Amino acid sequence: MTSDNPVADRLLSDARKKADQPENGPLGIAALVVSLLGLAGAGLIPVVGWVLGLVAVVLGVVSLKKPDCAKLGKIGLGIGVVAILVATFFFLKSQGMV
């Protein structure tokens, strides 16, 4: 694959290398799954939402340092924060404060 344009060859080879790499790392997937479980459990048992939300936030922050799982890590981080807020709301509601 040699052509007269070495820049195009380099860009094409870089694009092929990037396409061969996996997009989602295990930390990002773990952050997403734990955050969704925390969000689902927050309405039933607020402590579950707090714990799983906190774990999801930690996993999300750690996964942000790895470029292969940063996208899912950001999503997991955001849903983890929402899980903590929802758990706090349901806890306060159960105590009669809201």
Task: Please indicate, yes or no, if residue 1 is contained in any of the structural domains.
Answer: no
Q: Which residues of the chain register pLDDT less than 70?
A: 1-3, 19-23
pLDDT for the residue 75: 94
Structurally, the chain folds into a number of domains equal to 1
Q: For residues 4-42, b (16+ Cβ closer than 10 Å) or e, as one string?
A: eeeeeeeeeeeeeeeeeeeeebebbbbbbebbbbbbebb
Task: For residue 23, give the H/E element and its range.
Answer: none
Asked whether residue 52 is domain-assigned, the answer is: yes
- The pLDDT tens digits for 50-76 are 999 999 999 999 998 888 788 899 999
What local confidence, expressed as pLDDT, does residue 67 receive? 82
- List the end-to-end C-alpha distance of the chain, in Å, as a whole number: 67
Flag whether 9 is in a domain.
no
pLDDT confidence of residue 10: 83
* Domain of 53, in residue numbers: 23-94
